[in-house]
Amino acid sequence: MTGETGEGPVFAGARITVDLAALRANYRHLAKLASPARVAAVVKADAYGLGAAQVAVTLSELGCRDFFVAHLHEALLLKPIVGDHVDLFVLNGLPQGAESACAAAGVIPVLNSWDQAMRWQSLAVETGRRFPAAIQLDSGMSRLGLPPQDVSRLAQEAGFFDQVEVRLMMSHLACADHRDSFANHRQCRAFNALADRLPPAPRSLANSAGIFLGAAFHGELVRPGLALYGAGPFDGETSLMAPVVGLEATVIQVREAPSGTGVGYGLSFVATRPVRIATVAIGYADGWPRRMEGIGAVHFQGRRLPIIGRISMDSLTIDVTSLPEGAIGEGDAVELVGPNQTLSEVAAAVGAIPYEILTGLGRRCRRIYLDGDSLEHDRCG
């Protein structure tokens, strides 16, 4: 079955396409790599801007039963959509004063500190209920998680594991996107040593890149995010995953400009010959980086069209002189991310990372969901 649905402003200047068949293909590919570990889905930041509700429903239909968001408010929005048959974890843990709301919603805090753990236990004692949680251990990233001394304290805390159901022991790799980093193995050993101090529970260490580091990093649950959405977890290895995301924007004007014409704010581009200029309805308010001035491009009918002049809040300008006159006009769509220019290539062009580009794409963009299980997505590697 194939189909297309959309969300967001109908007359948006820019459109993000989300290929749900490719999303499924990536999930299945990661499941094969990680087997027998389960595969979760990280859907924080509205599934990296692609729509957490649509992504979570799509993957839950494939059997995904574990989802991760960053903040409790994200979980409160998503929980009614995914229902009670999945585990929904809050990576940033348990905000002060939110204990009852978290418990009432049936979402699972990732306890990142001694204080969070004690507050969650206290609620269990007060209500006479046993609440689920994940426990994050600091294996060396020094960002979130219980340090070794608090792990030892927790192991000796009378009643904690009777009153709190630990669904998961987890940590996070700092250097997984560098395959050969010694830090990966050091963290893996540290994580397992810390987890060994506590009662047995399923373990989770690997993010997207960590899955490709091998079985020693998988534990019982892996937590991909970016890899699900089609970006390779390692620089220069874009073919590891099927592309999920496309971005296109609409031409709103085409004009002729004689030699000597300045273009855009600051007139930072001045034509040295007669040029044909198209103005495109996407700018930095939509998440397209201002740093693309002078180095970036869009594509139309397979032709690379350079961005000229500064990128504005709501528009950018491109040189379309290389196209036959009349070949492009108002209402035509140009490709910013797609077959001719991947998300990773866009990020590399401006010294960014794919996460930054993807999560920065604005809410003014319309999201188009393409769905067709019959489609085959080739992948090398």
| Catalytically active residues, by annotation | 44, 265
DSSP string, 223-263: --SGGGGT--SSTT-GGGS---EEEEEEEEEEEEE-TT-EE
* Strand locations in 148-292 (E): 164-170, 203-204, 221-222, 245-257, 262-263, 269-270, 275-280
Task: Tell me, rounded to whole angstroms, the distance of Cα 106 from its chain centroid.
Answer: 24
Residue 61 is encoded by which pair of tokens?
A: 């239909």
Tokens 């990966």, located at residue:
184
Beta bridge partners of residue 288, listed in sequence order: none
C-alpha to C-alpha distance for 50 and 356, rounded to whole angstroms: 13
Residue 285 is encoded by which pair of tokens?
A: 């308010």
> In terms of C-beta density within 10 A (0-12 exposed, 13-18 middle, 19 or more buried), how is residue 66 classed?
buried
Residue 238 is encoded by which pair of tokens?
A: 């874009």
Tokens 């019959």, located at residue:
374
Type of residue found at 43: V
